[in-house]
């Protein structure tokens, strides 16, 4: 019995020793330069928004990257064509994933159909031009150069052939990720997003094949600011996806050439940002700045389902120039974190009942009474534009379910006195207009009797109504004053 | 009767030559001093009167050449003078691929091959200064480089794919009567590599060769520089034995020879 225990403990001890032996074997290298490489491996390259598999715990290798340059026509937005210059046939170019200590043998292949020489400057390279000088390649040729990866981080690569700005503006940029020893912490979803600005001869949306506009590029007046090379690449079928509870990591780059990105995801807070793609990690970030020719890694857990919008928060770029993408999250609602809409109430500042518009002034009769029907219409239109348009809308169409229409309105045309009363005294409770029920509140309008007559004449003589002419006398009669 | 006809045609030929002062298929270009966009320190360059082919050399013409000079046939050309893609769009030594047109410019030819062709015709390759001088004309003026339309047209060609498959002469002739200097293919020049471009354009900026000094200034000259940047970048990327799909050539001749 005793000997057995002894044996057990001895074997346990030896096992421990063995482990510690293995542990000792794992050498710390003085610098990344010292890390030896074993074996060759062809690098997996992916088109956006996908990224290659993480490096995980693999050892440093000789990594062979074969990148083909293609000049090809594509669509920048519906009906607008553009000749892109690409690394690997996509904008941004293929995503390269390596680890510290890898020795990258880079093959840059310039397709024979191409018109121009190109090269590549990888920000992950320690060497002149980031490889640009060694990779300058004529159409129909291939250049090979090699570099040792020393610094971890997310880096931009781009073409640096004259005119540099034009090569970048046409889409020649992408990202190379250098993972630290052991890899980045695992997450559930990883995506590749890169912003770029485009300068076309025609204005945004002008159809046909649009050439590059050098002058606009020099002035930094972009017609398109987009994620992944075109308007809508990350919306609809292209939207990124995740499930509730997953952690999403976005590798976000900015190719420029001109603009800096204020990257933001509407409805999410970045739990972690690897600032500028480096080692510094910031937490709880709303918007992160990504310089042209720079990158950032952002991570966040999606807690609730819904569509989250990726934008450049220089917001006109998002809604008018294309810098808008979507992350669709599916899964169970979590009312604790986000309730959704609970109620839609009328907001009334001072208690219930029909409200008057806050004003201290007595209603003044207009100094210039309308002398003719034409003037009534003219003044009435002005009043409508100031007073009624917000709810009833510019063409009297109203807003379904909230504000009844004034155009071709049966309720309006049926009873002019009732309509005058509504303007003078306000109206609340359920009414039926053109077959639709409305239960809302219209406030008493603080306008003069003359103005009521004018605006109602305008409404009755617009949008298919019955052309009643409302006079100040009719208004006076209803008001009882 | 027969001698009379002979004499007449001779006289006609003579008059023809005298009145135009040029060889068949070439036009005379009056030389001048001009400042190339860049090159030898942006100084004034003198171009003497010379003649230049109206069109780039076509597949048809090159076919005639390799028939008479077999050492330049596809299978016989030495690799040191023409790389592996030499006449890649040819089926064999004396036939083009079915998709190729006889009247398209010959491409996939090396500098050595182009030079040999021109010499065989009693001509030579134009110098870069000559080529740039002839190519800065548009339809109406000798130097159109400051015109926005001229530069935009060139830039748009740089973006147009597969133009080498077009036939010659589809681009309007320029002031000198020359077609296709822009809009069809790149063209070899005799001293294409005399402007050294390292391939790292931003570095060139700081070098004393001044290649890219223009890029620092703003204004109308910028666009014109950009159009030319790409030509110089292209020339900088090639070696004399390279053969490229979008690279052809045409020949030149000193004007004095026939005056």
Of the pLDDT bands very low, low, confident and very high (cuts 50, 70, 90), residue A397 is confident
Is the pLDDT at B94 greater than 90? The verdict is yes
Q: Are residues A41 and A140 in the same domain?
A: yes
Is the pLDDT at B229 greater than 80? The verdict is no
Of the pLDDT bands very low, low, confident and very high (cuts 50, 70, 90), residue A119 is very high
What are the DSSP E strand ranges found in A93-152?
96-99, 103-110, 121-122, 141-148
Mutation site for B-interface testing, chosen from A122, A159, A163, A221 by largest number of B Cβ within 10 Å: A163
Query: Among A72, A136, A140, whose Cβ lies nearest the Cβ of B244?
Result: A140
Does residue B133 belong to any structural domain of this protein? yes
Q: How many domains does chain B have?
A: 1
> Checking DSSP bridges between strand A208-209 and strand A247-256, what pairing results, if any?
unpaired
Q: Are residues A467 and A404 in the same domain?
A: yes
On whether A313 is known to bind a ligand per the annotation, the reply is yes
**Per residue in A316-349, pLDDT tens?**
999 889 999 999 999 998 888 888 777 776 666 6
Task: Please compute the mean of the pLDDT values over residues A26-55 and round it to a whole number.
Answer: 90
Is the pLDDT at A63 greater than 80? The verdict is yes
Q: Which of B106, B228, B196, B207 is nearest to A214 (CA)?
A: B228
Does residue B15 belong to any structural domain of this protein? no
Does residue B30 belong to any structural domain of this protein? yes
Is the pLDDT at B76 greater than 50? The verdict is yes
Q: Are residues A139 and A192 in the same domain?
A: yes
**Per residue in A99-113, pLDDT tens?**
999 999 999 999 998
Does residue A414 belong to any structural domain of this protein? yes
Q: How many domains does chain A have?
A: 2
Of the pLDDT bands very low, low, confident and very high (cuts 50, 70, 90), residue A12 is low
Is the pLDDT at B119 greater than 80? The verdict is yes
Task: Please compute the mean of the pLDDT values over residues A199-215 and round it to a whole number.
Answer: 89
Q: What is the pLDDT of residue B8?
A: 52
Query: Among B88, B161, B199, whose Cβ lies nearest the Cβ of A132?
Result: B199
Asked if B244 has any chain A CB less than 8 Å from its own CB, the reply is yes
Q: What is the pLDDT of residue A258?
A: 95
Q: Exposed, middle or buried, B187 (CB in 10 Å: 0-12/13-18/19+)?
A: buried
**Per residue in A226-262, pLDDT tens?**
999 999 899 888 999 999 999 999 999 999 999 999 9
Taking an 8 Å cut-off on Cβ atoms, the answer to whether B200 and A132 are in contact is yes
Could you give the CA distance from residue A111 to residue B144 in angstroms, rounded to a whole number? 32
| Distances from the Cα of A371 to the Cα of A367, A374, A378, angstroms | 12, 8, 11
Taking an 8 Å cut-off on Cβ atoms, the answer to whether A137 and B245 are in contact is no
Of the pLDDT bands very low, low, confident and very high (cuts 50, 70, 90), residue B201 is low
Q: What is the pLDDT of residue A161?
A: 87
**Per residue in A432-443, pLDDT tens?**
999 888 887 787
Q: Are residues A393 and A326 in the same domain?
A: no
Does residue B163 belong to any structural domain of this protein? yes
Shortest Cα–Cα distance, A332 to chain B (Å): 50
**Per residue in B147-186, pLDDT tens?**
878 887 887 787 777 788 889 998 889 999 999 999 899 9
Asked if B69 has any chain A CB less than 8 Å from its own CB, the reply is no
Could you give the CA distance from residue A131 to residue A140 in angstroms, rounded to a whole number? 19
- Token duo for residue A386: 């100031």
Does residue B7 belong to any structural domain of this protein? no
Query: Among A115, A134, A212, whose Cβ lies nearest the Cβ of B246?
Result: A115
Q: Which residues pair with A137 in a beta bridge?
A: A118
**Per residue in A254-304, pLDDT tens?**
999 999 999 999 999 999 999 999 999 999 999 999 999 999 999 999 999
DSSP string, A241-273: EEETT-EEEEEEEEEESS--EEEEEET--EEEE
Does residue B222 belong to any structural domain of this protein? yes
Query: How many degrees, rounded to 5, is the angle at CA B80 between CA B77 and CA B86?
Result: 45
Q: Are residues A325 and A395 in the same domain?
A: no
**Per residue in A69-79, pLDDT tens?**
999 999 999 88
Three-state secondary structure call for residue A85: strand
Query: At CB < 8 Å, which residues of chain A contact B?
Result: 71-73, 83, 112-117, 119, 128-129, 132-141, 160-164, 166, 170, 201, 211-212, 214-215, 218
Taking an 8 Å cut-off on Cβ atoms, the answer to whether B201 and A164 are in contact is yes
| A467 within 8 A of A379, measured Cβ to Cβ | no
Mutation site for A-interface testing, chosen from B150, B237, B241 by largest number of A Cβ within 10 Å: B237
**Per residue in B236-259, pLDDT tens?**
889 999 999 999 999 999 986 444
Taking an 8 Å cut-off on Cβ atoms, the answer to whether B215 and A133 are in contact is no
On whether A158 is known to bind a ligand per the annotation, the reply is yes
Domain that holds residue A440: 373-479
Q: Are residues A93 and A218 in the same domain?
A: yes
On whether A118 is known to bind a ligand per the annotation, the reply is yes
> Checking DSSP bridges between strand A208-209 and strand A62-77, what pairing results, if any?
unpaired
Does residue A26 belong to any structural domain of this protein? no
Domain that holds residue B172: 23-258
Asked if B204 has any chain A CB less than 8 Å from its own CB, the reply is yes
Does residue B2 belong to any structural domain of this protein? no
What CATH code is carried by the domain that includes residue A194?
2.60.40.420
Instruction: Please identify, among A296, A330, A364, the residue that sits at the C-terminal boundary of a domain.
Output: A330
Task: Please compute the mean of the pLDDT values over residues B224-239 and round it to a whole number.
Answer: 80
> Checking DSSP bridges between strand A189-198 and strand A224-227, what pairing results, if any?
antiparallel
Does residue A341 belong to any structural domain of this protein? no
Asked if B229 has any chain A CB less than 8 Å from its own CB, the reply is yes
Q: Among all residues of chain A, which has the CA nearest to that of B225?
A: A163
Task: Please compute the mean of the pLDDT values over residues A394-421 and round it to a whole number.
Answer: 87
Task: Please compute the mean of the pLDDT values over residues B26-38 and round it to a whole number.
Answer: 86
Q: What is the pLDDT of residue A14?
A: 53
Q: Among all residues of chain B, which has the CA nearest to that of A216?
A: B223
Q: What is the pLDDT of residue A26?
A: 56
What CATH code is carried by the domain that includes residue B77?
3.90.1580.10
Q: Are residues A403 and A466 in the same domain?
A: yes
Q: Are residues A315 and A424 in the same domain?
A: no
Query: What's the DSSP call for residue A92?
Result: S
Residue A2's contacts (CB-CB under 8 Å, 6 or more residues apart) are none
Residue A478's contacts (CB-CB under 8 Å, 6 or more residues apart) are A417, A420, A421, A424
**Per residue in A143-169, pLDDT tens?**
999 999 999 999 999 999 878 889 999
Q: Which of A390, A386, A396, A447 is nearest to A422 (CA)?
A: A447
Taking an 8 Å cut-off on Cβ atoms, the answer to whether A112 and B215 are in contact is no
Is the pLDDT at A305 greater than 80? The verdict is yes
pTM of structure? 0.72
**Per residue in A178-189, pLDDT tens?**
999 999 999 999
Q: Are residues A379 and A467 in the same domain?
A: yes
| B120 within 8 A of B113, measured Cβ to Cβ | no
Could you give the CA distance from residue B64 to residue A101 in angstroms, rounded to a whole number? 57
Task: Please compute the mean of the pLDDT values over residues B184-205 and round it to a whole number.
Answer: 71
Is the pLDDT at B217 greater than 50? The verdict is no
| A32 within 8 A of A101, measured Cβ to Cβ | yes
């Amino acid at each position: 019995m005793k000997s057995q225990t002894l044996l057990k403990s001895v074997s346990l001890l030896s096992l421990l020793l063995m482990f510690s032996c293995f542990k000792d074997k794992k050498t710390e290298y003085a610098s990344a330069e010292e890390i030896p490489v074993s074996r060759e491996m062809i690098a997996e390259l992916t088109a956006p928004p996908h990224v290659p598999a993480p490096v995980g715990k693999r050892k440093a290798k000789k990594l062979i990257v074969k990148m083909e340059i293609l000049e090809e026509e594509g669509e920048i937005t519906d009906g607008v064509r553009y000749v892109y210059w690409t690394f690997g046939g996509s904008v941004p170019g293929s995503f390269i994933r390596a680890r510290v200590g890898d020795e990258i043998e880079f093959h840059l292949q310039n397709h024979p159909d191409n018109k121009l020489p190109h090269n590549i400057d990888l920000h992950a390279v320690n060497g002149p031009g980031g490889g640009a000088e060694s990779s300058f390649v004529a159409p129909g040729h291939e250049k090979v150069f090699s570099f040792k990866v020393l610094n971890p981080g997310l880096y931009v690569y781009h073409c640096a052939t004259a005119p540099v700005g034009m090569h970048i503006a046409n889409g020649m940029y992408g990202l190379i990720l250098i993972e630290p020893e052991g890899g980045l912490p695992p997450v559930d979803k990883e995506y590749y997003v890169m912003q770029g600005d485009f300068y076309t001869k025609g204005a945004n949306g002008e159809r046909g094949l649009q050439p590059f506009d050098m002058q606009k590029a020099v002035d930094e007046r972009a017609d398109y600011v987009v994620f992944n090379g075109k308007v809508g690449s990350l919306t609809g079928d292209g939207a990124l996806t995740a499930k509730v509870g997953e952690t999403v990591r976005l590798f976000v780059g900015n190719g420029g050439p001109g603009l800096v990105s204020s990257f933001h995801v509407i409805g999410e807070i970045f739990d972690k940002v690897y600032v500028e793609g480096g080692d510094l990690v910031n937490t709880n970030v709303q918007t992160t700045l990504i310089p042209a020719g720079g990158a950032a890694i952002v991570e966040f857990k999606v807690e609730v389902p819904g569509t989250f919008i990726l934008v450049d928060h220089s917001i006109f770029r998002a809604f008018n120039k294309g810098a808008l993408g979507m992350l669709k999250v599916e899964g169970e609602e979590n009312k604790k974190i986000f309730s959704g809409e609970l109620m839609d109430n009328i907001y009334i500042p001072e208690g219930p009942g029909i409200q008057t518009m806050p004003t201290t002034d007595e209603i003044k009769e207009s100094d210039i009474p309308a002398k003719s029907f034409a003037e009534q219409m003219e003044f009435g239109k002005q009043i409508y534009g100031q007073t009624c348009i917000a709810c009833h809308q510019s063409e009297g169409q109203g807003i379904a379910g909230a504000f009844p229409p004034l155009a071709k309105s049966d309720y309006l045309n049926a009873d002019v006195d009732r309509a005058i009363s509504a303007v003078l005294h306000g109206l609340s409770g359920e009414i039926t207009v053109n077959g639709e029920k409305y239960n809302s509140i219209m406030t008493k309008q603080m306008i003069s009797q003359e103005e009521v007559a004018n605006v109602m004449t305008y409404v009755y003589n617009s949008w298919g109504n019955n052309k009643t002419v409302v006079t100040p006398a009719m208004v006076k009669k209803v008001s009882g004053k | 009767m027969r001698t009379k006809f002979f004499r007449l045609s001779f006289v006609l030929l003579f008059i023809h030559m005298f009145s135009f002062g040029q060889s068949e298929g070439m036009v005379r270009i009056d030389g001048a001093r001009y400042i190339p966009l860049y090159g030898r320190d942006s100084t004034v360059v003198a171009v003497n009167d010379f003649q230049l082919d109206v069109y780039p050399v076509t597949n048809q013409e090159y076919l005639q050449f390799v028939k008479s000079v077999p050492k330049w046939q596809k299978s016989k050309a030495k690799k040191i003078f023409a790389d592996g893609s030499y006449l890649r769009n040819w089926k064999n030594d004396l036939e083009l691929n079915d998709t190729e047109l006889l009247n398209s410019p010959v491409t996939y030819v090396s500098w050595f091959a182009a030079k040999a062709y021109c010499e065989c015709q009693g001509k030579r390759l134009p110098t870069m200064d000559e080529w740039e001088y002839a190519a800065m004309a548009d339809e109406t003026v000798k130097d159109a480089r400051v015109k926005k339309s001229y530069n935009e047209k060139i830039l748009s060609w740089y973006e147009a794919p597969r133009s080498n498959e077009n036939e010659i002469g589809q681009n309007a002739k320029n002031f000198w009567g020359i077609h296709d200097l822009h809009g069809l293919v790149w063209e070899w020049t005799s001293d294409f590599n005399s402007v050294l471009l390292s391939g790292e354009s931003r570095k060139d900026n700081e070098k004393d060769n001044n290649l890219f000094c223009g890029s620092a200034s703003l204004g109308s000259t910028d666009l014109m520089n950009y159009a030319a940047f790409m030509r110089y970048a292209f020339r900088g990327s090639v070696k004399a034995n390279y053969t490229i799909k979008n690279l052809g050539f045409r020949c030149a001749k000193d004007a004095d020879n026939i005056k």
